[in-house]
Structure 1
Amino acid sequence: MTRIILSTGYAVDPSAPALSPIRDANGRIRNIVSGGPSIIRKPGTFRSNLELTNSLRRNFLAAQQDYAAALQNGNGNGHLVNIEDEIKPNDRPATDIWTAQEGSTLYVPRIDWSVAGLQEERPQYEITVKLFYLPTAPADARLKYTKQALDLVKRELRVGDIDLLIVSFPGISFEGDCEWEADKINATMGNEEEEVATWSALEDLHRDGQVGRLGIAEFGSVKLRRFLDKIKVRPAVDQINVKNCCNVPPPLSKLARDEGIELLTHNDCTDILPSGTLRELLGQGAQGAGVLADGGSGGDGGLRGDLIPEWVVKYTAFVKDRGVIEDKGYFAGAELVEA
């Protein structure tokens, strides 16, 4: 069994023009446009599944070109190629050139941890992490997934803790023709027993000081009330998507106000990384990374097996005194069960 860790570098706004990969002062590839606001999605326009898949695809292609160029040049610098130029499957460099295997974990693409880290001291940042538990993964492994995701974010940013962890459980949405209907339908969604058990494990991370505040996503008034009655550490944040119903339901607003919970809105997609999308990203197609073999019997040399997406984490490091985002990106975890 192989664990696969995918990373985006910097997440980019998919509405921005195509760009070439550039390097930061430490030489790391960062797929960003020059201005700070351009890496932030426009509200209501794009959902994070599109941002995630576009950013992964760009980062894979940039890494393939950069590491292949460095190898051809015989040095560690190489040169960069405009990522608008499509690489055909038979032009891809060997997978082991631009990915890294550490024990049973395969990093796609490889990450140079030596140049990771934020530019200023830790107190200057507000670090927010949103963790999506995927429906294809077992609920009893969520604490393990959480630790994996947080370890990667902390290693990437070189920090020992995060300020806010928002968790998104599978099978929950906040959609309806109006806010009242959305709130009513929401009350029947998800698996309350699994959600409470997961939260209890997260409370330990909060008590240990690894996470400053905990938050949830897509909890309406009825669901939130039942949840609060069964947990010890209150969520500091409830993040909901009101793209269809436009308004926050009054019962939810009142409950949040009474309980001291901050209501935030978002445009994230709850089904952020389906199995088919992940296999397409890593497969042998024209827009795939060439890591996985095709389903057929062709001798393409890729890895074979059942691919199980487990979690996705989105992280943002916000410089408080300047009001800008310095670092934003994604990691995703999956298991490949070899045939």
Structure 2
Amino acid sequence: MKIILSTSNIMTAGPSVIRFYTAKSNVELINSLKSNFQAAQQSASYNENNGQANDANSWTKKDGDTLYIPAIDFAQSGLHEDRAQYDITVKLFYLPGIPASRRCAHTREAIDVVLKELHVDSIDLLIVSFPSVSFDADDEPEEDDEEGSRTGSGSRASESTEQADDFESIVKTWHTLETLAENGKIAQLGVAEFGTERLAKFLSQTRIRPSVDQINVKDCCVVPKSLILYAKQEKIQLLTHNDCTDILPRGTTRELLGSGDSNAEISTSAPVPGDYLQGDIEPQWVVKYTAVVKDRGVIENKGYFALAEVGSCIKTHDRA
């Protein structure tokens, strides 16, 4: 059984969500999910009290082997204007502890649900975040000259992290992205947290090169000169962010689906009667999407989807 969690469009949500707009991605995700759960529950309860629904739990929906929390009306487009008016950016987080062999399927699942939500056939930019990759400015090589020749400790950083990075699996995942791009679903591809040495090694393995490298500069605001020069040389745009790679830990997912203030209240670790998910709940991926109106520079739609799998028995009603 799969579970898809969604925040809906957080740009049209209440102040409790908008207040976290500039927060780190994990904070924004959790608060947005809780807010959307609460809004959906209140709407279902209101409809039931007014004779418009038979079940206050109709705020979720089961479709085949997938449970949507809350229910999503894919019949309504998430955009108000023609597709050509938007720049659509998607960031896909592959989560720690999930086998790399699942990433190809996860990529297609995540992209498909965003396309379905926004009623579009393609996105403009997909950035992928690998859990084993982190950027550290201290590991960047020193520069000999302004042409970008590299010396110093960069090779040491690459060698020391090669095993953790699982470079071969990253390249294999990238080939899936290339296929999606060649099929017209993605216009541009990007990576996250790639330093100079890793980026140089990676480029030689690609058919479609990343057009963006998104890095977290943490507490400093200075991008290393070596990376700036190399990215310029390779015509790769550098962007910064404040996301975290472990955006949705397993314990947090279980808590979200359990009882408590603003939680879903549909899961439990103990077998009990009723509409409860039973068994281990393992988050698989998280995707963040943003649709910006080009001529106004306004974010019209921003949200998150997360997919989790239930590893054991499930008790839940089919919900229309």
Q: Paired residue for 1:105, among 52, 61, 66?
A: 66
Match runs of 1:229-308 below 5 Å? 229-293=204-268, 295-296=269-270, 301-308=275-282
Report if the CA contact (8 A) 2:291-2:301 is conserved.
yes
- For structure 1, which segment, 143-152 or 204-213, has the greater mean C-alpha deviation from structure 2 after superposition? 143-152
Deviation track 1:96-148 (CA, whole Å, cap 9, x = no partner) reads x2100000000000011222231111111000000001123221121211111
Q: What is the match of residue 221 of structure 1?
A: 196
Matches within 5 A, 1:123-138: 123-138=84-99
8 Å Cα contact 1:176/1:244 also seen in 2: no
1:60 correspondence with 2:37: yes
Does the aligned pair in 1 maintain the 2:137–2:223 contact within 8 Å?
Answer: no
Q: Per-residue displacement from partner, 1:150-195 (whole Å, max 9, x unpaired)?
A: 1111111110000000000112222466866997786325221110
Q: Of 284, 289, 296, which aligns to 1:315?
A: 289
Moved more, 327-336 or 133-142: 133-142
CA distance 1:219–1:177, shift in 2 (3 Å): closer
**Letter matched to residue 174 of structure 1:** F
Distance 1:177 1:258 in 2: 21
Which moves more between the two structures, 152-161 or 171-180?
171-180
SS of residue in 2 equivalent to 1:107: strand
Distance 2:300 2:197 in 1: 37
1:71 maps to which of 48, 62, 75: 48
State the match for 2:21 in structure 1: 41
Residues paired across the two proteins, number: 297
Percent of residue pairs identical:
51
Contact 1:178/1:245, CA 8 A, preserved across alignment: no
Q: Is the counterpart of residue 5 in structure 1 residue 1 in structure 2?
A: no
Q: Which runs of 5+ in 1 are unaligned?
A: 13-29, 77-92
Q: Give a deviation string over 1:29-66, Cα, whole Å, max 9, x none.
A: x41459xxx57833xxx210000000000000110111
Show the counterpart of 2:133: 172
Once superposed, what is the RMSD of the aligned Cα atoms?
A: 2.4
Distance 1:117 1:285, change over 3 A: closer
CA contact (8 A) 2:283 2:309 kept: yes
C-alpha contact (below 8 Å) 1:11/1:51 kept by paired residues = no
Query: Structure 1: which amino acid aligns with 2:236?
Result: I
Q: Deviations over 1:169-228 (max 9, x none)?
A: 112222466866997786325221110010011100111111000000000111111111
Report the CA distance shift for 1:302/1:184 in structure 2 as closer, same or farther (over 3 A). Answer: farther
The code of the aligned residue for 1:59 comes to: N
Within 1, Cα distance between the matches of 2:271 and 2:278? 10
Q: Distance in 2 between matches of 1:327 and 1:134?
A: 24
Contact 1:179 1:247 (8 Å CA) reproduced: no
TM-score between the two structures when normalised by the length of structure 1? 0.81
Instruction: Give the secondary-structure state (helix, strand or coil) at the position aligned to 2:3.
Output: strand
Q: Is the 8 A contact 2:267 2:276 kept in 1?
A: yes
Indicate conservation of the 8 Å contact 2:288/2:304, yes or no: yes
Counterpart-to-counterpart distance in 1, 2:170 and 2:188: 17
Superposed counterparts of 1:58-207, under 5 Å: 58-75=35-52, 95=57, 97-175=58-136, 187=158, 188=161, 189-207=164-182
CA–CA distance in structure 2, aligned partners of residues 73 and 136 of structure 1: 45
* Deviation at residue 149 of structure 1 after TM alignment: 1.0
- Give the secondary-structure state (helix, strand or coil) at the position aligned to 1:329: strand
Following the alignment from structure 1 to structure 2, what is the Cα–Cα distance between the partners of residues 277 and 162? 29
What letter matches 1:320 in structure 2? K
**2:150 — aligned with what?**
none
In 1, distance between residues paired with 2:86 and 2:154?
Answer: 34
